[in-house]
Structure 1
Amino acid sequence: MSKLQIQTYYKTLDNLIQRGGSQNEQSIRGAFENLLNSYCEPKNFTLVPELYYKTTKNTSVRIDGIVKDALRLTWGYWEAKDTFDDLDKEIDDKFFKGYPNDNIIFEDSQTAVLIQNGHEVLRINMKAPDKLDHILTQFINYERPEVRDFRQAILHFKADLATIVTTLRSTLEGQSKTNKNFLAAFKKLFTLCQESINPKINAFDIREMVIQHILTEDIFLTVFNESQFHRENVIAQELESVVKTFFTGKIRRQTLQSIESYYAVIRREAANISNHHEKQKFLKVIYENFYK
């Protein structure tokens, strides 16, 4: 138990109440936010405040805090309530609105309730430091099934990616010798990239761009749920024109089937992100960690 962190929380909470004269959620929740962050740090997690979450009812709600890891995967949620609220009623109201119930902690500075996998697993008096430590430890160490699936998919993806890239390079080499439609589309893309990106760009660079496009197109559309960017971006259009000359039907299915589980968990994780800025961050992490 982190006695110092919990005692610091109690002291900060008392100061906020005494000097602010209020036990309103907005006035005092910073104390618990700091405490929860201190439990996040050893696991390299971050408590991100005031994030929007897409509910099961297809609405967006703003959650007081969401615990994220370095991959921006969600490990848990936190909701603060006023001390004089009916905590059970507030919890019921939140779940009625579609709030997540897989790992969420509700607290009002007096009582903390931990819901995991849809069930209440702990309810403690927050004035008892050992119990407060226990509920925070159980909260922060709980691995949601979605996180576990994602981590397993990452391992699977990394193991298969090298083989897929090698296969695609070989396929592109073969297409450049036998497929006239491919050659015409590739030449058009090559010229466009020389004019708009770098006049010294070479054929190998273009082939790598095509491979990158193949591997990331579905993810981009999954995260942003839109194709407007690709309709309006000239290079993306030409990349897709090259891909369509050979990467269809059976070839596409056979090449990507081994990493379909990876795409599936990305779709599921992205489905809960409603904020466009957060989607951009999520996509950036995906690209930086797995396509370089």
Structure 2
Amino acid sequence: MTSGDDATTEDALARLVTTLAISPAFDPEGQPRKPGALCIGAQKAGTSWLAQMLGQHPQVWIPPFKEVQYFNHLHIPEHRRWIAWHYRNKPQEIRERHRMRQVPMEPALDAYLDAVTSGKMFHNQWYKRVFAPAPTHATPMDFTPEYSALPEVGVAAVRALLPKARVIYLIRHPVDRAVSQLRMNLRREKRAPASTADWLAEVANPVLDERGDYARYLPRWQAHYPDMLVLPFGRIAARPHAVMDAVEAHLGIGPGFYTDLDRKVFANAPGLMPPPEAIAALEDRLAPQVDFLRDHLGPEFVAELR
């Protein structure tokens, strides 16, 4: 079963949260460095929420545009077009947030945004420069959920460059995740299926499977990072403090004080829900993914997916 209008889990996370920057600390004299941690996972599985929480921790630093998109640019060529869009638009969004809130833009941040989005990009030194403003006492962290879909050669490249990185993988129930992604895609494309047949065609789109293929992606990552922390999406709503305790222990950071633990980030608006027939079709198609998670991570983990 799906959770209806994402009510069971997403509504419990409350309302939209936006901030001027994910990590407010910024060292303009910082030197290029590798990230010490990665957060990957399924689309619509809580990575934005976790970034907002860890952005409040003084021992973690996240780039102002959050998702660096480095390894998937190198190893998933079909991502490159929208990654270019990401880097054209994110600096503009950050500047606009400052303007709308009448908060002056720090010249160092403004110069940094120009520097990392111009000239030659997506090479080793560029990747390190992205994390240069991290304070020396903080762990730089790359929040790019799309890394979860890297091919074997891509995950091996991550391990080769970041052998000591701490990795967090967020997982959402396959059906709920696919429904949430579909609703988001339809709104972005300004479309609304008119009939049950139209909805059945939408849920049959294989694009909904790409980011939720846990049976293929999770073992690949665990082979390279066997101590990776795997978290179920439902735990965010049910036990957010437990989530942050586990994350802090995994990253080796001290206890943090977090505001808005129970608030939702980037929630879907109400409405535009697939009919029961389309949900049933998704359940049938994605049942093997649920079975894999149950066999691989146990029934208690699956019970916390929503």
TM-score range, shorter chain: under 0.3
- Higher RCO (CA 8 Å, separation ≥ 6 residues): 2
Q: TM-score, normalised by structure 1?
A: 0.24
* Higher helix proportion: 1
Which one has a larger percent strand, Structure 1 or Structure 2?
A: 1
| TM-score (ref. length: structure 2) | 0.23
